[in-house]
Amino acid sequence: EDALAEAAARGFPATTLRLPVVQGPRDPKLRLESYVRDILGDRPIALREADRTRPLRYLFVKDFAACAASLLRAKAGIGRAYNLAMDDAGVTLPDFLRELARALGREAELRFAPDSASPPRSWASFLDPSLAKRELGFRPTAWREWLAETARWYSSRP
């Protein structure tokens, strides 16, 4: 990122986009697959106690693609760095999983264990997209909307 900023200062047209975990249909890493399998299999999902309140922010793949394409057309933000992420800063993993289950026509059974009883999940960034919204016109899709689309994709897989 520093090298791109230096190059931009010398006239190279670079814009940096910082991304959290990117979610959506056709995710090659299948990040939500184990949750979908548990929900569709009516199995409980084990979470850590800290997951109850820790906020998360993902990025919908189509929102990233639209923003990147608009930068290529408009040449906006050259030499700058922007965070991209979903809008709602108050969503927790339990909120997200309950909504995923609802989109799948089920209910999620969440079980919370003390933080010391289960290994920590990998770290996920929590980015603030407000600058990208102001300067680039970035408008993230409502998370419940893209999660429903993503759930449909997962449920259509064999």
Q: What's the start-to-end Cα distance of the chain, in Å?
A: 40
CA distance to 1, 12, 78, 81, 122, per residue, from 6 (Å): 9, 9, 11, 12, 32
Distance CA 134, CA 84 (A): 12
The tens-digit pLDDT sequence of the chain (158 residues) is: 888 888 888 888 889 999 999 999 999 999 999 999 999 999 999 999 989 998 889 999 999 999 999 998 887 888 889 999 998 888 999 999 999 999 999 999 999 998 776 555 555 667 899 999 999 999 999 999 999 999 999 999 87
| Burial of residue 75, with CB atoms counted within 10 A of its CB: 0-12 exposed, 13-18 middle, 19 or more buried | exposed
Q: State pTM to two decimals.
A: 0.88
